[in-house]
Structure 1
């Protein structure tokens, strides 16, 4: 939990710093997650980062049924689910139209979630909006993925270098691959490259695909 919580804090703090340096026109830039503009993607990230507040206010389930890898299952990326996700983010983006409001809203969301996590006993269980029963640690791992990977999308949209923090990169890379030791050394990837390749944010070359296939690497299913 300490490692995952540090990754969540570090990545959210870094994104908050980026948001406080944006200009109003930045919010309308297109992103690699169409049809979202930056403001829509940020609404999605804000909701995801703050989701634990309500989850931790609800009764805990009796036992964990999935881990972080199983949470990112194909059922969560059906066309119907994606359409709902897109519509909700666009609607929520209209509620905070200005840059300062966007930055303040994200800050409130992630800091409230962090405070809620800190107040929990070891081994706390939660139930997600999809109905999954998980340990708090495993769900927080999925939040690191959401903030970190969509941070790559935002960096692309804003024409900036990726700001993925080392702690978040470690957590995400380990989760997406299932086993970092399974990634061939011959690929020569650092963790940022691994995350981009494993989530489809960067294409595999023919050589890379051959090495991945030869090693039997199985990426985690991960949608937008």
Structure 2
């Protein structure tokens, strides 16, 4: 939990810093997650980062059924779920707001979630909005994925260098590889792994062959 919480805090704090330097025009830029503009994607990230507040206010389930990798199963990326995800973000974005409101909303959401996590006993279990039951640590790992991977999308939309933090990159790498080492021939750093394994960059035939020979199987999941 300490490692995953540090990654969540680091990545959220870095995004909060980036948001403080945006302009009003930046919020209307298109993103690699159509049809969302930057403001829509930020609404999605804000909601995802703050989701634990309500989850931790609910009764804990009796047992955990999935881990972070299982949470990102194919059922999360069906056309129906995607449509709901897209529409929800647009509703949550609401009426156009300025940079201070957008940045402040994200800051309040992630900090409230972090405070809620800090108040929980070891081994706390949670139920997600999809009905999955899992440990708090594993769900927080999915929040690192959401903020970190969508941070890559935001960096692309804003024409900036990716700001993925080292702690978040480590959590992402561990999840994407199942803790197994990458084949040496790939030559990927943590950022390249994050981009390729989440569909933000193409995997070549040679890279796919190396992944398969290394026994990593399905290295990717939807964003």
TM-score norm. by structure 2 comes to: 0.97
Matches within 5 A, 1:1-20: 1-20=1-20
Deviation of the 1:51 alpha carbon: 0.1
Q: Deviations over 1:3-56 (max 9, x none)?
A: 000000000000000000000000111111111111110000000000000000
- What is the distance in 1 between the residues matched to 2:25 and 2:219? 35
Q: Deviations over 1:159-206 (max 9, x none)?
A: 00000000000001110121331x101111111111111111111223
- What is the distance in 1 between the residues matched to 2:161 and 2:36? 20
Does structure 1 retain, via aligned residues, the 8 Å contact 2:197–2:220? no
Q: Name the SS for the 1:146 alignment partner.
A: helix
Give yes or no for the alignment of 1:178 onto 2:173.
Answer: no
Deviation of the 1:207 alpha carbon: 2.1
Matches within 5 A, 1:1-224: 1-95=1-95, 97-181=97-181, 183-224=182-223
Deviation of the 1:137 alpha carbon: 0.3
TM-score norm. by structure 1 comes to: 0.97
- What is the distance in 2 between the residues matched to 1:21 and 1:88? 26
Does structure 1 retain, via aligned residues, the 8 Å contact 2:199–2:222? no
CA RMSD of aligned residues (A): 1.1
* Structure 2, unpaired ranges of 5+: none
Deviation of the 1:95 alpha carbon: 4.2
Q: Deviations over 1:69-106 (max 9, x none)?
A: 10001111110010011001011112462111100000
Deviation of the 1:221 alpha carbon: 4.9
- What is the distance in 2 between the residues matched to 1:123 and 1:185? 36
- What is the distance in 1 between the residues matched to 2:95 and 2:135? 32
Q: How many residue pairs get matched?
A: 223
- What is the distance in 2 between the residues matched to 1:207 and 1:59? 48
Does structure 2 retain, via aligned residues, the 8 Å contact 1:31–1:153? yes
**Stretch deviating more after TM superposition (43-52 or 90-99):** 90-99
- What is the distance in 2 between the residues matched to 1:13 and 1:195? 19
Q: Name the SS for the 2:26 alignment partner.
A: helix
Q: Name the SS for the 2:216 alignment partner.
A: coil
